Amino acid sequence: MHQDLLTIEEVTKQDLYEIIKLAAVYKRSRGTMKEKPLDGKSIGMIFAKSSTRTRVSFEVGIRELGGFSIFLEESKLQVGRGETIPDTARVLSRYLHAVIIRTYKHEEVVEFAKYAHIPVINALTDEYHPCQTLADIFTIYEFSEKLEGIKIAYLGDGQSNMANSLILGAKLAGMELTICAPEEFKPRQDLMGKSLGTGSAVWEIDPKKAVAQADYIYTDVWVSMGFEEEAKKRVKMLTPYQVNMELLSAAGPETRILHCLPAHRGEEITDDVLESKRSIVFDEAENRLHVQKAILALMLGEKN
């Protein structure tokens, strides 16, 4: 794998299938594997945003692989009171074996990686969420036993970090993604125009058209961290894109539901859909652990 994981663009098709294969091994053998590829390695976790799944899955994963995680709240570090990102990156590179960063501006993670000489993993920025997308792809492979030709309909904010990462992930994996969003939230054209593999991404305004042939329907919160001031506007404009039973009736009988969580029940998705037999949301959440273990092992396991 590439030294850093900042977006899906650092992942090759070969990397993707190595992650899937190893994540499946870790999932099957959890608690019984004796190999500790992170033995003796210390991983820093710099978080500026609140977290449940990301923090817990990374901390547990690092421990299960034999490593040691150090949680670093950004506001408590010197970078939070004026130290430059390059200085912080250079210093932490001398203490740690890798750094995982969850923050607001994607440019800050890019700058950190530029000056660090250890692997840097993006655990979420306002623009991208690659670890979640890799877990989503693994989940789809787990349930469909293939990726090529799988159809996904993503409803909601077409400019969110999840939409951006799913566009790249679908193209890499050979899937067919429809981003369903109103004009004001249509997907980024620079990403839609990228060519990473055999997959595709298109934009559709009509939710029922978007889900008609979908194997998977995906949604995410309409108001992500950092966008709270726009909450009322976003909810009003995105309400027609709610994933509910009426919308689900326009999809096929085998269509499954994905959501990266946390869910704002009653906004982007209704309780009855989230709790339905179609929902594989909690399998998807569990897979964050297995996929991130695979990422860490592949990035660090053979390095001294």
Nearest Cα to Cα of residue 99 among 127, 51, 62: 62
102 catalytically annotated:
yes
Q: Is 36 exposed, middle or buried (0-12, 13-18, 19+ CB in 10 A)?
A: middle
Could you tell me where the DSSP H helices lie in 145-252? 161-173, 189-192, 207-211, 231-238, 245-248
Distance CA 9, CA 6 (A): 8
The DSSP output letter for 269 is B
- Say if residues 186 and 214 touch (Cβ distance below 8 Å): no
b or e along 267-284 (b: 16 or more beta carbons within 10 Å of the residue's beta carbon)?
Answer: bbbbeebbeeebbbbeeb
- Say if residues 203 and 192 touch (Cβ distance below 8 Å): yes
Sheet-wide strand order for 98-102: 68-73, 42-47, 98-102, 120-122
129, 256, 259, 290: which one is catalytic? Answer: 129
Q: Please, what's the largest Cα pairwise distance for the chain?
A: 55
234, 256, 278, 288: which one is catalytic? Answer: 288
Bridge partners of 5? 121
- Say if residues 96 and 76 touch (Cβ distance below 8 Å): no
132, 180, 234, 256: which one is catalytic? Answer: 132
288 catalytically annotated:
yes
102, 106, 256, 278: which one is catalytic? Answer: 102
Q: Tokens 């693994």, residue?
A: 138
Q: Tokens 């569990």, residue?
A: 286
b or e along 85-116 (b: 16 or more beta carbons within 10 Å of the residue's beta carbon)?
Answer: beebbeebbeebbbbbbbbbebebbbbbbebb
136, 220, 234, 278: which one is catalytic? Answer: 220
Active site amino acids: 102, 129, 132, 220, 260, 288
